[in-house]
Amino acid sequence: MKIEGQVAVVTGGASGLGYAAAEALAQRGAKVALLDINPDALRAAAETLPALGVVCDVRKPESAVEALAIVTSKLGRPGICINCAGVGPAKRILGKEGPMPLEDFACVIDINVIGTFNMLRLVAAEMAKREVGPEGERGIIINTASIAAYEGQIGQSAYAASKGAVASLTIPAARELAQFGIRVLAIAPGIFLTPMLKALPEAAQQSLGESIPFPKRLGRPDEYAALALHMIENVMLNGEVVRIDGAIRLAPR
């Protein structure tokens, strides 16, 4: 798919991987809409790019419907969607204070799985109404999994389960939406320098980077964005989860 002129929706677009993807799309001539739950960060990011900023809670059907209605009315129907909205809290199944509260597990599933699927289904409905492009393509949806889906560490049970669900969603969604000319892919990042990791001491960041076989550093958000751009432009990529992790395999802790 040609990126220039496409309407691109990026959830979690106010920071981290989402912002990097949105910035790369804007630089390539896409009309970008940032969806994020944080209004202050969203406003700053939208002004910087520039892009259309829309406050959205991806977990809630009415919020997502309203956000996409704004995007469609102001920019047009999306041909690209990158879902980056998510959370990754660490908590043990059985900790010093007893079993993990069920609501903590449910919250991660709600945001990472329900939120991703909510956006996928609604964006797909809009994409299906578009005119077909070259090779019959109408759109592409890229979700964000994680290598934790495959090697979740101690304390990552909720996060790993949620990202495993996102990874498993990829092939059935791609198969089902193929009839509409919509591709579905997922990216599984390794250890990336996102705002959460930037809060760690420099020594801790360096230690994490050195654990990666090659290159021995943390991943950069622009590298995630570069992979997303390639996925968009390479029509033969469909139904796949692609790891981007420097060949690391996570240890138990």
CATH number of domain containing 136 = 3.40.50.720
In a domain, 116, yes or no: yes
60 Cβ contact partners less than 8 Å away, ≥ 6 residues apart:
118
Distance CA 123, CA 71 (A): 11
In a domain, 99, yes or no: yes
In a domain, 174, yes or no: yes
Which one-letter amino acid corresponds to residue 97? E
Is residue 159 pLDDT above 90, yes or no? yes
User: Residue 15 is inside which H or E element, if any?
Assistant: none
In a domain, 251, yes or no: no
Is residue 37 pLDDT above 90, yes or no? yes
Q: How confident is the model at residue 29 (pLDDT cuts 50, 70, 90)?
A: very high
Chain mean pLDDT for the chain: 96
Catalytic residue numbers read 159
In a domain, 166, yes or no: yes
35: three-class secondary structure by DSSP: strand
159 Cβ contact partners less than 8 Å away, ≥ 6 residues apart:
87, 88, 89, 90, 108, 112, 146, 148, 152
Mean pLDDT of 157-168: 97
What domain count does the chain have? 1
Please report the pLDDT score of residue 207 as a whole number.
86
Closest CA to 125 of 60, 65, 172: 65
Is residue 132 pLDDT above 70, yes or no? yes
pTM flag (> 0.75):
yes
Please report the pLDDT score of residue 8 as a whole number.
98
Please report the pLDDT score of residue 200 as a whole number.
67
Q: How far is CA 124 from CA 35, 127, 129, 209, in A?
A: 16, 5, 9, 37
157-177 helix and 102-109 helix, angle to the nearest 10 degrees? 30
Q: Which of 92-101, 199-208, 227-236 has the lowest mean pLDDT?
A: 199-208
In a domain, 46, yes or no: yes
Is residue 17 pLDDT above 70, yes or no? yes
Helices (H), ranges, 28-81: 39-48, 61-74
pLDDT > 90: percent of the chain: 91
Which residues span the domain enclosing 108?
7-244
Please report the pLDDT score of residue 203 as a whole number.
83
In a domain, 194, yes or no: yes
In a domain, 250, yes or no: no
Q: How confident is the model at residue 201 (pLDDT cuts 50, 70, 90)?
A: confident
Mean pLDDT of 156-175: 97
